Amino acid sequence: MISGLPALSHEQQQKAVERIQELISGGMSSGEAITLVASEIRATHTGDHIVARFDDDDEQV
């Protein structure tokens, strides 16, 4: 799968981490917190995007 991901500055990444930690501290699971913050970033991000390719198959070499 190829996906366009938001290109975040170090400061934006740090704020995302802090937001995730805040949600976890409030009782949310880490998976839910990451999903929520990622959705928020995708919905509000106006900067550049990077192209990333994710292999869906678990090929062993």
| 60 within a domain of the structure (yes/no) | no
Range of the domain at 48: 2-53
pLDDT at 1: 42
* The predicted structure's pLDDT at residue 58: 59
pLDDT of residue 27: 97
Residue 25 lies in a domain: yes
User: How many domains does the chain fold into?
Assistant: 1
Cα 47 to Cα 23, 39, 42: the distances in Å are 25, 15, 10
pLDDT band at 2; cut points 50, 70, 90: very low
Average pLDDT along the chain: 78
Domain presence at residue 58: no
- What is the pTM for the complete model shown? 0.65
Name the residue with tokens 């839910």: 32
Within a 10 A sphere around the Cβ of 33, how many other Cβ atoms?
Answer: 19
Task: Indicate whether 59 belongs to any domain.
Answer: no
- pLDDT tens for residues 26-43? 999 999 999 999 888 888
Helix, strand, or coil (residue 3): strand
